[in-house]
Amino acid sequence: MERPAPERATRKGRAMRGQTPIQRQTNYRQLRNPFPTMDVFSADEIENMHDTAMRTLEELGVKVLLPEARKIFAEAGARVDEMTDMVYIGRDIISAALASAPKSIECRAGARHRDFVLELGSLTFQPGAGAPHATDRDRGRRPGSARDFRELTQLTQHFDVFQMVPPLIEPQDVPTNLRHYFTAEAQLTLTDKFPFIYSRGTPQVEDGFAMMRGFRGLTDDEWRAHPHCYTIINTNSPRTLDIPMAQGLIDFARARQLAIVTPFTLMGAMAPITVAGAITLSHAEALSAIALNQLASPGAPVCYGTFTSNVDMKSGAPALGTPSHFQASLAAGQLARFIGLPWRSAAGSASNTNDVQAANENQLGLWGCLMAGATVIIHSAGWLEGGLTVSYEKLVTDAEVLNMIAELCAGNRAGPDEIGFDTALREVEPSGHFFAASQTMARYSTEFYEPIVHDYANFGTWTERGARDASMRATDVWKAILASDARPEMDDAKVEELRHFVERRTSEGGAPPES
């Protein structure tokens, strides 16, 4: 879908000089993280954090609101206080969960070239998710709608660098008992990427599973052999696992679909003010959730995770892309490597508009995730206001950065052809130029990344063209993508079947979310 340019350029290059053109090899769809991992704490400190998380689960406990979940923990030998809903989880239970959780997870999307593997070392991106509002330069900021949901899902499909489709915004104009039909149908019919299901109670989750299985035409064995969709499990920090989240951990485990566990621990608010304290709490909560998931079905695909940044101590507002956010990602990465599981982290921005702050925050947070070795980087494009809004323009401008990261994943070479002593260095006289060197002619059409929104025009030309900044140009980009209305290949009969399912379930009253 994206980047047909290299093919065109190749033909042109060949025609011009009769040489074999040399093309860069990039594959945005299956990325490996090329960046060295960075430690913020020593190995001893990490071990102490892990040990303190174990003590936290054993001595302080976790409040588990779902009776079935408490029952599962109790049967595994955890001490449960039914008066207070507190569950005290021994480290033997955690160790068993970490032993049974898979280290490598093959995720199946709607098309085989969209499949990917989650394991330490692999790298996937999602745009910003879960925002109540949407915004763009033409229509302004508004409550997220069905139209926004579909449009943002199409934009996510367009950019190969997003391997997973989240629910970017909440379509608030769709009734809550029917919303999950709408979101699942939109993700399945507008994309062929790995889709998402909200954990808002078993009835909604089972509806979602039925839609995914039916649309993909999977046997029960096929469905269970690999995850075909995912959910995000947020603990209620500190130390609370609410009903829909606990239920989601159980339902996804039993269906062998992917649960991504993410305590959202804001340093100084719902978590300790220090990176070490906040990540120790996050680690404890994540391990309790992974334990429940693995107790429900040992070996089920589950992803460790954190989303930890600091608040602004003056206002209590979340701050993103800060040094503390960066270090929290590093610490979580160390703990993920300590337990050996694939894991998710998050970028994002607290800015109120797609400005320099928004760009700098998102990219700083992103580098924290990259150098922490995160497997899944969520909210990597489009988030404003700490996640209250997804911006169409920011989705585009952040995708530019992610594309460049994907280019860096491809690495580079310095063999004799690339060094080019005879095809470049020797050919050009002192103070000459390399525009016509043999090496240049063989490579000029594909050697460099071609930006989608960055502009290299000089000041005069740029001014003549209206002095339009990157956000303004990003409006053109998303409009062009939506105007092209590209759709992935799909079976019309399956689309029809999906509609019938939704119609039937709608006539039956749908399924309200549980809380």
Residues between 67 and 96 with contacts to its own copies, criterion CB under 8 A: 86
Among 416, 483, 485, 507, binds its own copies (CB under 8 A): 416
Among 81, 455, 476, 503, binds its own copies (CB under 8 A): 455
Pick 435 or 509: Cβ nearer its own copies: 435
Among 145, 462, 475, 490, binds its own copies (CB under 8 A): 462
Q: Does 335 bind its own copies (CB under 8 A)?
A: no
Residues near 438 by Cβ (< 8 Å), separated by ≥ 6? 19, 423, 424, 427
DSSP reduced 3-state for 281:
helix
Pick 42 or 104: Cβ nearer its own copies: 42
Residues from 469 through 488 that contact its own copies (CB under 8 A) = 469-471, 474
Among 463, 486, 500, 503, binds its own copies (CB under 8 A): 463
Quick one: 430 exposed, middle or buried, by C-beta within 10 A (0-12, 13-18, 19+)?
Answer: exposed
Phi, psi values for residue 213, rounded to 5°: -60, -45
C-alpha to C-alpha distance for 187 and 28, rounded to whole angstroms: 20
CB of 297 to its own copies, least distance (A): 26
Helix axes 356-371, 392-409, angle to 10 degrees: 40
Q: Does 23 bind its own copies (CB under 8 A)?
A: no
How many positions of this chain bind its own copies (CB under 8 A)? 123
Residues from 336 through 355 that contact its own copies (CB under 8 A) = 350-355
Pick 117 or 388: Cβ nearer its own copies: 388
DSSP reduced 3-state for 161:
coil
Pick 212 or 370: Cβ nearer its own copies: 370
CA-based end-to-end distance of the chain:
40
Segment interacting with its own copies (CB under 8 A) among 39-47, 173-181, 185-193, 216-224: 39-47
Pick 438 or 506: Cβ nearer its own copies: 438
Segment interacting with its own copies (CB under 8 A) among 70-78, 94-102, 149-157, 360-368: 360-368
Q: Do the Cβ atoms of 424 and 168 come closer than 8 Å?
A: no
What string marks each residue from 222 to 241 as x (binds its own copies by CB under 8 A) or -? --------------x-xxx-
Residue corresponding to tokens 């206002």? 315
Residues from 282 through 311 that contact its own copies (CB under 8 A) = 310
What string marks each residue from 163 to 202 as x (binds its own copies by CB under 8 A) or -? ----------------------------------------
Beta strand 79-81 pairing with 86-88:
antiparallel
Q: Which of 361, 402, 384, 394 is nearest to 475 (CA)?
A: 394
Segment interacting with its own copies (CB under 8 A) among 111-119, 170-178, 192-200, 396-404: 396-404
> What secondary structure letter does DSSP report for 113?
G
Q: Which of 164, 191, 167 is nearest to 179 (CA)?
A: 167
Q: Does 38 bind its own copies (CB under 8 A)?
A: yes
Q: Does 62 bind its own copies (CB under 8 A)?
A: yes
CB of 233 to its own copies, least distance (A): 16
DSSP reduced 3-state for 3:
coil
Residues from 240 through 259 that contact its own copies (CB under 8 A) = 240
Could you tell me the two tokens for 61?
Answer: 């406990």
Q: Does 60 bind its own copies (CB under 8 A)?
A: yes
Q: Does 375 bind its own copies (CB under 8 A)?
A: no
Among 424, 477, 481, 498, binds its own copies (CB under 8 A): 424
Segment interacting with its own copies (CB under 8 A) among 67-75, 111-119, 340-348, 430-438: 430-438
Q: Does 464 bind its own copies (CB under 8 A)?
A: no
Handedness of CA 210, 213, 218, 222 (dihedral sign): negative
Among 4, 140, 459, 466, binds its own copies (CB under 8 A): 459
Q: Which of 343, 356, 434, 457 is nearest to 397 (CA)?
A: 356
C-alpha to C-alpha distance for 479 and 485, rounded to whole angstroms: 10
Among 20, 34, 67, 225, binds its own copies (CB under 8 A): 34
C-alpha to C-alpha distance for 207 and 234, rounded to whole angstroms: 21
Q: H or E segment at 125? A: strand 122-125
Could you tell me the two tokens for 115?
Answer: 């499949």
Residues near 277 by Cβ (< 8 Å), separated by ≥ 6? 267, 271
